[in-house]
Amino acid sequence: MTIDIPDQLEAKLRGRTPGISAEWSARPAAVLVPLVLDGGHWQLLFTRRTENVETHRGQVSFPGGRVEAGDADPVAAALRETQEEIGVRTEDVRVLGRMDSLLTVTQYLITPVVGVLPWPYPLRPDPVEVAGVFQIPLDWLADPTHLERRTRPAIAGGPEVPVYRYAPYQGNVLWGASARITLDLLDLLGRRP
């Protein structure tokens, strides 16, 4: 008995939505993109990582990290990491939804989760992971005079890769994946610089 390979493949492929298969496995991660209403203005809340952490030392980031086996999904991971890093209780976050995931050059697949924090809020930054917590107004982030776009060569050939970097805001420089997530959020709001 011969197997009809084309019929077998056609049956398997019919109705299937193709995905993306990378040549390497990306590590799943999730971040909370925290919105706060402070003084009548919407702001994003960021952290600055300490020099003691394993990766991205001293960089500006959103609270978050790797998705762990005990996390139900990326939303649960983002909320858990936010509680661990800056002391925001899970039940205090109004989760608005997930943004598109982002594949980084450091081989993380980051799922941004947008949430609103009540403000003011008694933050408790973990001194091992977080050197500081600060806000940047959405209006400032949407101003094109504050954003710089450069390119760098691709790691393995192909087109150059855009790198976004904001001007310093109160001494903090937003760039890389956190800047890309910020720009994606501004896109959703129709306010990308």
139 in a structural domain: yes
Number of domains in the chain: 1
Under 8 Å between Cβ of 181 and 31: yes
Q: What is residue 7's predicted lDDT score, i.e. its pLDDT?
A: 84
SS3 state at 17: coil
For position 56, which CATH number holds?
3.90.79.10
Residue 9 lies in a domain: no
pLDDT at 181: 96
Could you tell me the residue range of the domain that residue 29 belongs to?
A: 24-188
For residue 193, being part of any structural domain is answered with no
For residue 71, being part of any structural domain is answered with: yes
pLDDT at 182: 97
pLDDT at 162: 87
Element (H, E) at 85: helix 74-86
Q: Is residue 181 part of a domain?
A: yes
**pLDDT per residue as tens, the chain (193 positions):** 566 878 887 887 787 877 766 667 889 999 999 999 999 999 999 999 886 756 656 689 999 999 999 999 999 999 999 999 999 999 999 999 999 999 887 889 999 999 999 999 999 999 999 999 999 999 999 999 999 999 888 777 778 888 899 999 999 999 999 999 999 999 999 999 8
**What pTM, to 2 d.p., does this model score?**
0.86
Tell me, yes or no, whether 14 lies in a domain: no
Q: 103 in a domain, yes or no? A: yes
Helix (H) or strand (E) holding 8: helix 5-13
For 157, other C-beta atoms within 10 Å of its C-beta total 6
d(CA 183, CA 142): 8
- Asked if residue 88 belongs to a domain, the reply is yes
